[in-house]
Amino acid sequence: MELNNKVIIVSGAGSGIGAATAKLLSAQGAKVIASDIDLSKVEAVVNEITKSGGQAWAKQTDVTQFTEVAALVSETVADHNQIDVMVNNAGIGGEHQRKTAEHTNEDWHNVIAVNQTGVFYCMKTALQQMMKQGYGNIINIASLAGLKPSGYNLSYSASKFAVVGMTKSAALEYGRKNIRINAICPGYTQSPLLDKLIGNKPEMGDTLKKLIPMDRFGEASEIAEAIAWLASDKTKYITGQTIILDGGTSLI
Ligand SMILES: NC(=O)c1ccc[n+]([C@@H]2O[C@H](COP(=O)([O-])OP(=O)(O)OC[C@H]3O[C@@H](n4cnc5c(N)ncnc54)[C@H](O)[C@@H]3O)[C@@H](O)[C@H]2O)c1
């Protein structure tokens, strides 16, 4: 199998894209360390994987807490000797959709803490281990919102542009160390995060779909396929790139 026995950490694996990714990676033979701030959600995902014959372990980790992220990395190495791939997927959208002057300080701090600082903590601790191993592969889940402007959620936009910047800058630093770092940029994708954005306003869903030339939202499983491809050795010459899966939204 493509990912046979690769040790892969996935953050935010309890839901949406992270859950779909944990399932697909394990189906392709990986040993998946599925982490999430919500232990019960990620345990349910791990149960599903192990019942179907895959290898996965649940870990509770809040990516905004450096000591928890460091423990996730060190416990993974203690249990499995190495980290082949780190998928930094945990992310939040913020509570309110407002223009910048009305953007709440609370949304700003919460979104930056998870989406930006969380990715930094995960990259930093994973890179320390990958340097010791002499190889590694980091996949950051950014967003189309990290490549082009999107209104009404400045903190989300700022955090995702930052993820793209951190991906490219670190890829430049670690290419010679046999560590590659890429970002996946999904467009609107079916998940609890998108459900929350649309809320109970179906017209909002219709408005968003008008922005998508393929006329539908992405599926979490479709994003997971690209993550599995980047996790595989088929892509071992790719680093510092942003891979867009958006049904053509970026064309508009
Ligand atoms: N769904 C979309 O339309 C879309 C589009 C572009 C990018 N993304 C990105 O994809 C990633 C996954 O999003 P999703 O749509 O699957 O969302 P989701 O809400 O379904 O899943 C996010 C997961 O992250 C976890 N999480 C939240 N805060 C955390 C923390 N502090 N520490 C650890 N885990 C935490 C949640 O418990 C949840 O299980 C996010 O980074 C998101 O920004 C999503």
Q: Is the CB of 139 under 6 A from ligand 1?
A: no
Q: Is the CB of 192 under 6 A from ligand 1?
A: yes
Residue 36, both tokens: 């999430």
pLDDT of 201 higher than 90:
no
Tens of pLDDT, residues 57-73? 999 999 999 999 999 99
pLDDT of 200 higher than 80:
no
64 with 118: CB under 8 angstroms?
yes
Span 103-125, mean pLDDT?
98
- Residue 74's pLDDT band, with cuts at 50, 70 and 90, is very high
Q: Is the CB of 218 under 6 A from ligand 1?
A: no
Span 12-32, mean pLDDT?
98
Span 205-212, mean pLDDT?
93
Tens of pLDDT, residues 128-178? 999 999 999 999 999 999 999 999 999 999 999 999 999 999 999 999 999
Distance 156 CA to ligand 1 centre (A): 12
Question: Which pLDDT value is given to residue 202?
Answer: 79
Span 94-123, mean pLDDT?
98
Distance, in Å, from the CA atom of 31 to the CA atom of 34, rounded to the nearest integer, reads 9
Residue nearest to atom 30 of ligand 1 (CA): 62
Distance 162 CA to ligand 1 centre (A): 16
Q: What is the DSSP string of the chain?
A: -TTTT-EEEEETTTSHHHHHHHHHHHHTT-EEEEEES-HHHHHHHHHHHHHTT-EEEEEE--TT-HHHHHHHHHHHHHHHS--SEEEE------S----GGG--HHHHHHHIIIIIIHHHHHHHHHHHHHHHHT-EEEEEE--GGGTS--TT-HHHHHHHHHHHHHHHHHHHHHGGGTEEEEEEEE-SBSSHHHHHHHTT-HHHHHHHHTT-TTSSPBPHHHHHHHHHHHHSGGGTT--S-EEEESTTGGG-
Of 32-46, 112-126, 190-204, minimum mean pLDDT range: 190-204
Question: Which pLDDT value is given to residue 75?
Answer: 98
pLDDT of 92 higher than 90:
yes
Domain ranges of the chain: 7-245
Task: Judge if pTM exceeds 0.85.
Answer: yes
Question: Which pLDDT value is given to residue 66?
Answer: 99
Catalytic residue among 121, 156, 174, 188: 156
Homologous superfamily in CATH for domain 7-245:
NAD(P)-binding Rossmann-like Domain (3.40.50.720)
Distance 16 CA to ligand 1 centre (A): 7
237: annotated active-site residue: no
